[in-house]
Amino acid sequence: MESNSGTYNDNAAASYEEAKKLADDIMVKIKCRPVVGVICGSGLGELANMVKDTEIMGYEEIPGFPVSTVPGHAGKLVFGHLGGKPVVLMKGRVHFYEGITIQKTALPIRIMKLMGVKILFVTNAAGGINQTYEIGDLMIIKDHINMPGFAGMNPLHGQNDERFGPRFPAISKAYTKRLRDHAKVTAKKLGFEGFTIHEGVYCMLAGPSFETVTECKFLNMIGVDCTGMSTCPEVIVAAHCGMEVFGLSLVTNKVVMEYDSDQIANHEEVLETGALRSKDLQKLVAAMLETLDV
């Protein structure tokens, strides 16, 4: 296991016993028994402010837990109740581009599973590939392209432990239809009319550099609607563990699609849009949980 000093080794995913010990060590210190896990993407950590009866643990307090180093990712586990459901929120996630193995980025999901989490909500800040998408729009994720997986970087790479899930899991239905439908109904009830809620395909690129113009054109050509640098490893591991998954992207910038454009992608824009739209995202997630059958 790696230390929490910021230096990560390149060994394979944590074993079942290692993940179980981490889960048990956390549960000893926490009264909450979460059934829903929520991952907060860049600039979206304010969702944690809606949690009641909070208990908070910093990632650095958990030996072996990967620590986030990116601005906009506070690096805290927040336990409590949201929408009346016992939850655990990751206020910030870790990314492959931080020098962490693809398996380690998804270790928190296995820990959540062993803590009793049945449903995973994943949020992210994403660039709009689909040219009809506007900054501030939300996209319900119906499918993804794990681009690093094309080069063999899959979080399930290595020896499989059947206690987590099968050797060859199906990922075609990773984003649960009942949760996607529930999100659409909830958004309509909330009267979200000032911006658009789409349903589309997310693509993960490894990062940390933003996409080139040609890469964006390619992604558009193959049917990608939004792109980012996270989410796929966590969703793959959640599906492997038998969790239901709901994914939501906040379009924080429109990708550069012209070679001589003066527009430049930057992380500050991502955080700014996240701050502006986060209250609507918070309302949607909380309202979904209030009426969700867990």
Active-site residues, by number, are 42, 73, 95, 97-98, 125, 229-230, 253, 267
Q: Which residues fall within 8 angstroms of residue 217, CB to CB, at 6 or more apart? A: 257
Decide if 96 contacts 148 (C-beta within 8 A).
yes
Angle at 17 between CA 171 and CA 231, to 5 degrees: 30
Q: Are 115 and 25 in contact (CB under 8 A)?
A: no
Spacing of C-alpha 275 from chain mean position: 17
Using an 8 Å Cβ cutoff, are 40 and 49 in contact?
A: no
Cis peptide before 166 (omega within 30 of 0): no
Cα distances from 14 to residues 108, 157, 170, 228, in angstroms, run 10, 12, 22, 25
Measured in degrees and rounded to the nearest 5, phi and psi for residue 252 equal -100, -15
d(C-alpha 17, C-alpha 15), whole Å: 5
76 DSSP assignment: E
Which residues, 6 or more positions from 191, have their beta carbon under 8 angstroms from its beta carbon? Answer: none
